[in-house]
Amino acid sequence: MDSTTRYLTIIIFVLALVITIIVTQFVRRRRSLYILRNIPAIQRLPSMIGEAIEQNRPVHVSLGTSGLGSENTLVTLANAELFYQVTRRAVIGTAAPIFTVGDASALPLAQDTLRRAYASRSTISSMPYSSARWYPGAGHSLAFAAALTATLADDRVGANILGGSFGPELALVAEAAARRNQTIIATSDQLEGQAVARVMSDETLIGEEVFAAGAYLGESSAQIGGLVATDILRILLILTILAPTIIHLGNSFFDGSFGVILQNFIRSLSGGG
């Protein structure tokens, strides 16, 4: 890493930290200060969970074949936070939520996520540890998809939230859910799985939307502050990318003098001569 890249990285981290701290303090004092953008899949989650509870049917969440210690570790942890918010709402029903994984490294994470969900409702003594299930599927995604279709039928699942690593085999799970009139929200870190989720699920999470679930569904001011910092950095990044293009186009129209005009304008705004 060269010195320029190192300095830019430090500046970005410091800027993100400062924005997060400032926004967090404002949100703690006034939660309506920042209006979060609409994400249809997250907006629909509470009603899906409520319908499953009313029907006395379990909510099913799944990480697919993603796990810990691999290249999709961050995706696994982000979806675990989403699933915590989902199961925290689902545990108030009589049907225990089901958490399935295809990678053995994710099984302790599934168990801990469910434990946190029950602990948040002070009902940890009623947590059935069999709700966290490992179906051997790492590297054999079709076998994992077959296990999920059986789970949807045998446990009479009410709602499905699938996030993590799914390939085209996600179509088998989505089709099984559709045949049983089960709602499904899906996302994947694989392009093929994301394409299937877009077409066959009731709603889909795209890109970084899964990382925002904690801010939307939780009550943490720090998570909202982090989301705001991410949005601001995204805007700054877009402006940084567009700046050379704007300067180049300006020089084309002003015979190469646009850069000088821009510098004089900035100097005048800052109080210069």
- The confidence score (pLDDT) of residue 53 equals 94
* Structural domain includes residue 181: yes
204, 236, 255 - which closes a domain = 204
Which of 44, 51, 40, 141 lies closest to 100, judged by CA?
Answer: 141
Structure tokens at 105: 């490294």
Range of the domain at 128: 40-204
pLDDT at site 211: 80
Among 161, 188, 204, give the residue marking a domain's end: 204
pLDDT value, residue 69: 85
Residue 212, domain member (yes or no): no
Q: Are residues 27 and 121 in the same domain?
A: no
CATH of the domain at 97: 3.40.50
* Domain count along the chain: 2
Residue 210 within any structural domain of the chain: no
Asked if residue 134 and residue 73 are part of one domain, the reply reads yes
**Does residue 215 belong to any structural domain of this protein?**
no
Q: Are residues 28 and 55 in the same domain?
A: no
- 185: in domain: yes
CA 158 to chain centroid, in Å, comes to 22
Helix axes 40-54, 73-90, angle to 10 degrees: 40
Give residues with Cβ within 8 angstroms of 99, minimum separation 6. Answer: 61, 62, 63, 83, 87, 110, 111, 113, 114, 131, 132, 133
- Give the residue among 197, 206, 217, 182 at the shortest CA–CA distance from 81: 217
Tell me: do 163 and 195 sit in the same domain: yes
User: Which pLDDT does position 262 carry in this prediction?
Assistant: 60
- Structure tokens of 77? 């942890």
pLDDT at 261: 63
On whether residue 250 sits in a domain, the answer given is yes
Q: What whole-number distance in Å separates Cα of residue 254 and Cα of residue 80? A: 53
160 belongs to a structural domain: yes
**End-of-domain residue from the set 171, 188, 204:** 204
Residue-level pLDDT at 222: 65
The verdict on 16 and 67 lying in the same domain is: no
Q: Are residues 57 and 164 in the same domain?
A: yes
Q: Are residues 234 and 194 in the same domain?
A: no
The pLDDT value given to residue 2: 55
Q: Quick one: pLDDT at residue 232?
A: 74
Of residues 191, 179, 199, 61, the one with CA closest to residue 117: 61
66 with 129, same domain?
yes
Clarify whether residues 244 and 124 are in a common domain: no
Tens of pLDDT along the chain (273 residues) come to 556 566 666 776 777 677 667 766 665 556 555 667 788 888 899 999 999 999 999 999 999 989 888 888 988 998 999 999 999 999 998 999 999 999 999 999 999 999 999 999 999 888 888 899 999 876 668 889 999 999 999 999 999 999 989 999 999 999 999 999 999 999 998 999 999 999 999 988 887 788 877 777 776 666 666 677 777 777 777 777 776 777 667 667 666 666 666 666 656 655 555
Please tell me whether residues 189 and 69 are part of one structural domain: yes
Task: Provide the 3-class DSSP secondary structure of residue 36.
Answer: coil
> Are residues 236 and 186 both part of a single domain?
no
69 and 196 fall within a common domain: yes
The answer to whether position 223 is within a domain reads no
